Amino acid sequence: MSPEFLTVAMFATLIAAIALGHPLAYTLMAVATLFGLIDNGWDIAGLFDMFVNNAWGLMNNYVLVAIPLFIMMAQLLDRSKVADELFETLYVVLGGLKGGLGLAVVVVCTVFAATTGIIGASVVAMGLLATPALMKKEYQKEMSAGIICAAGTLGILIPPSIMMVVYGGLTGMKETSVGNLFAGAIFPGLVLSGLYFLYIYVRCTINPKLGPPITREEASRWTPMQKVVLTLKSLIPPMALILAVMGTILAGVATPSEAAALGAFGALILAIVNRKFSMQVLIDSSRSTLSTTAMVMMLFIGGKFFSTVFLSMGGGDVVADVLVGSGLNRWLVLVIMMGIVFLMGMFIDWAAILLVTVPIFMPIAMELEFDPLWFSILLCVNLQTSFLTPPFGYALFYFKGVAPPEFTMGHIYRGIIPFVILQLVGLIILAVFPGLITWLPDLFFGR
C-alpha cells in the first residue's frame, strides 16, 4: 500500500476508535500495532522488537523523572490549602472592584499554576473554593464558569508544567530542553493571565451586573496596612516555593528533575507548617501521584508507538510534502499546523496530541527556519485551548463535577467562549512578538 493511503487510513482509524470511546493509550497502541504489521508485511517479531526498543529508550529518559515529582508537589499543595488562604485574602483586597472576585480567582490561579502543573487540581480547588463566593455575590453563571475554567488551565503552561517536561523529553533537542521551555513559557503564561484579568475588569466595568463588587462594609473590614500584611503573609509561602523550583532551574543550580524533588519537599514543608499534614495525606498524595504518573506514562508509550510506526511507514514525509511541497507561504503553513492542533484539541488528550504531532511538525518547522523554541511554545499555548474546547474539554468536566446543580453544561459552554477567543488572541500576540518567548531563555541560558 502507498504511504499516502496508509497515512489517511491510520488517522481515520485513530479518530474512529476515539469516537467509539476506547481508552486513548490503548487505542494508540492498537492502531500502531495494526498499521505496523500492515506496513512490515506482518512481521510480528520485527514490530515487537521496534516497540521494545522504543519503550526502553523512553524509560531511560532521565528528564521524565520530574513528572512524578511535580505531580507529588501538586498533590501536597492541594492538601496544604495554600490557595484557600490566598483567595480569602484577595477576596478582601480585590473584592471591592467591579469583577473583583473574578480578578482574585485569576491571580490565585496564576500563583497556583506556578507551583503546580496539574489542571485538575487547579480547576477543582477553585471550583470548590470560589464558586460559592461568586454565587453569593450574584455573579453571572457564565462569567463564573468561564473564569474558573480558563484561569485553572494556566497550570499547564506556566512553569513548572508537566506538559513542558513531556515536550522536552519528547524532542531531546538542546533548543527545546525543559529549562528553555520553562523560561520561554513564563511570559506567555503571564500574557494569558493578563488578558483574562483585563477582560474581566473591562467587561464588569461596562456591565457591573456580570460581576458585582462586595459591599463597602466587607471591603472596609481591614485597614490598608492590614491588607498589605495579609497579602504578603499569604503570598510568601507559594512565592518561596516558586523561587525554589524556578529560581534554581533558571540560575543553573539544579536540573528540572532536581528542582522537582526540591519542590515536592517544599510542598511537604508547607503542608506541615499549615498543620495539614498527616500519614493519610501522604498516602492519598502518593496514590494519586502513582495513578496519574501511570496514566501519563501509558499515554507516552502509546503515543511513542503510534508516532514511530507513522514515521517508519512514511507518514511524516507525506504530511511534510503536503505542507512544505505545496509552495504555500511559511506563515500559512504555520497557521495550518496550529489549526490542526486546535481541532485535535477538541477530541484528543493534550499528551496524545504532543506525541503524535511533534515528531511530524517539528521537522517541518525546522525546514521552514522557525525558531524551534518559539514554535514549541506556540504549540503548547495552542494546546491549552484543548482543556476548554467542547466536546471533550477536560476543564469543563472538572468544573461541572464540583459546581452546584444550578450550573448547566450550557452555562459552562457559553462561559468559556470569550476565554477561548482570548487564548487565540494571546497566541497571535506571541507569534507577532517572538521576544516574549525567547528573551528569558536567551538571558538565562544564552541560546
Whether 356 contacts 316, CB under 8 Å: no
Q: Please count the CA atoms within 13 angstroms of the CA of 230 that sit on its side-chain side.
A: 18
Query: What's the whole-number average pLDDT of the chain?
Result: 85
Q: What would the 3-class secondary structure string for the chain be?
A: CCHHHHHHHHHHHHHHHHHCCCCHHHHHHHHHHHHHHHHCCCCHHHHHHHHHHHHHHHHCCHHHHHHHHHHHHHHHHHHHCHHHHHHHHHHHHHCCCCCHHHHHHHHHHHHHHCCCCCHHHHHHHHHHHHHHHHHHCCCCHHHHHHHHHHHHHHHHCCCCCHHHHHHHHHHCCCCCCHHHHHHHHHHHHHHHHHHHHHHHHHHHHHCHHHCCCCCHHHHCCCCHHHHHHHHHHHHHHHHHHHHHHHHHHHCCCCCHHHHHHHHHHHHHHHHHHCCCCCHHHHHHHHHHHHHHHHHHHHHHHHHHHHHHHHHHCCHHHHHHHHHCCCCCCHHHHHHHHHHHHHHHCCCCCHHHHHHHHHHHHHHHHHHCCCCHHHHHHHHHHHHHHHHCCCCCCHHHHHHHHHCCCCCCHHHHHHHHHHHHHHHHHHHHHHHHCCHHHHHHHHHHHCC
More confident residue, 155 or 371: 371
User: What pLDDT, on a 0 to 100 scale, did the predictor assign at position 80?
Assistant: 75
Tens of pLDDT, residue by residue over 393-446, are 778 888 888 788 888 888 888 999 999 999 999 999 999 999 999 999 998 887
- The answer to whether residue 63 scores a pLDDT higher than 90 is no
User: What pLDDT, on a 0 to 100 scale, did the predictor assign at position 117?
Assistant: 64
Range of 165's domain? 3-445
List Cβ neighbours of 8 (8 Å cut-off, separation of 6 or more). none
More confident residue, 26 or 82: 26
Residue 163: Cβ within 10 Å count: 22
Residue listed under C-alpha cell 521537522: 363
CA angle 423, 429, 435 (to 5 degrees): 125
Across residues 96-106, what is the average pLDDT?
Answer: 86
Distance CA 6, CA 298 (A): 25
User: What pLDDT, on a 0 to 100 scale, did the predictor assign at position 447?
Assistant: 60
Tens of pLDDT, residue by residue over 12-62, are 888 788 777 777 788 888 998 999 888 888 888 888 888 888 888 777 777
Tens of pLDDT, residue by residue over 277-328, are 888 888 988 998 888 788 778 877 887 888 888 888 887 777 777 777 667 7
User: What pLDDT, on a 0 to 100 scale, did the predictor assign at position 219?
Assistant: 65
Across residues 100-122, what is the average pLDDT?
Answer: 81
Domains of the chain: total: 1
User: What pLDDT, on a 0 to 100 scale, did the predictor assign at position 311?
Assistant: 80
Residue listed under C-alpha cell 521496534: 50
Percentage of residues in the chain with pLDDT exceeding 70?
97
Give first-to-last CA distance, the chain, whole Å.
Answer: 44
Distance CA 250, CA 33 (A): 41
Across residues 156-175, what is the average pLDDT?
Answer: 83
Whether 211 contacts 204, CB under 8 Å: yes
CA angle 20, 123, 283 (to 5 degrees): 90
Whether 383 contacts 345, CB under 8 Å: yes
User: What pLDDT, on a 0 to 100 scale, did the predictor assign at position 84?
Assistant: 74
Whether 147 contacts 105, CB under 8 Å: yes
Tens of pLDDT, residue by residue over 247-287, are 888 888 888 888 888 888 988 988 888 888 888 888 988 99
